[in-house]
């Protein structure tokens, strides 16, 4: 697992419409493995991908670094249970934020009330970059992503 971005596949993201994401969105470029993680803020609400629920713990892990880097603290992934029985995984900065969310969403509960995954402490990685890719970098990255998939 990459110690900086918590993934063992350095080209796994973007998961959906990779070209669109890489060409248009701000990326967190892992200084350790080079993985690009979308850290773009939506203009209307200022929300990033990590603010939204994830279908699985594994996918939430892929975005945890962008939460850590944004909040400058080690965030945690929590398991949320909806009234209809559906489970999702959400990243919060701290327990207070989770409690706030549960207060505002009375149809939701948190199974463990502790993170399923988090780091003991927040680490800065000086070689990480937050920026958009150049056109050449996008092509190179997409090529590497394809090769990664083929090898699997």
Which phi and psi angles does 15 have, rounded to 5°? -80, -40
Query: CA 130 to CA 88: how far, in whole Å?
Result: 27
Is the Cβ–Cβ distance between 100 and 68 less than 8 Å?
no
If one asks whether residue 62 binds Zn ion (CB under 5 A), the answer comes out as no
If one asks whether residue 11 binds Zn ion (CB under 5 A), the answer comes out as no
If one asks whether residue 12 binds Zn ion (CB under 5 A), the answer comes out as no
Find the part of the chain contacting Zn ion (CB under 5 A) among 21-29, 53-61, 87-95, 101-109: 21-29
Q: For residues 27 and 76, which CB has a smaller minimum distance to Zn ion in the complex?
A: 27
Is the Cβ–Cβ distance between 112 and 102 less than 8 Å?
no
**Residue from the set 11, 35, 61, 90 that interacts with Zn ion by CB under 5 A:** 35
Please give the helix or strand (H or E) that residue 23 lies within, else none. Answer: helix 18-24
If one asks whether residue 30 binds Zn ion (CB under 5 A), the answer comes out as yes
10 Å Cβ neighbour count for 143? Answer: 11
We find the least distance from the C-beta atom of residue 10 to Zn ion, in angstroms, to be 6
In the complex, the residues that contact Zn ion under the rule CB under 5 A are 2, 4-5, 21, 25, 30, 32-33, 35, 38
């Amino acid at each position: 697992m990459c110690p900086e971005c918590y993934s063992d596949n350095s080209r796994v993201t973007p998961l959906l419409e990779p070209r669109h994401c890489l060409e248009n969105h701000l990326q967190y470029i892992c200084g350790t493995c080079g993985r690009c993680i979308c850290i773009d803020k939506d203009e209307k609400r200022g929300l990033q991908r990590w603010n939204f629920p994830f279908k699985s713990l594994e996918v939430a892990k892929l975005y945890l670094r962008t939460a850590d880097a944004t909040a400058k603290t080690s965030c945690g992934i929590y398991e949320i249970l909806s009234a209809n029985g559906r489970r999702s995984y959400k990243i919060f900065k701290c327990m207070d934020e989770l409690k706030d969310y549960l207060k505002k969403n009375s149809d939701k509960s948190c199974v463990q009330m502790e993170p399923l995954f988090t780091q003991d402490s927040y680490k800065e990685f000086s070689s990480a970059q937050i920026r958009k890719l150049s056109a050449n970098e996008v092509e190179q990255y997409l090529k590497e992503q394809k090769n990664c998939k083929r090898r699997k």
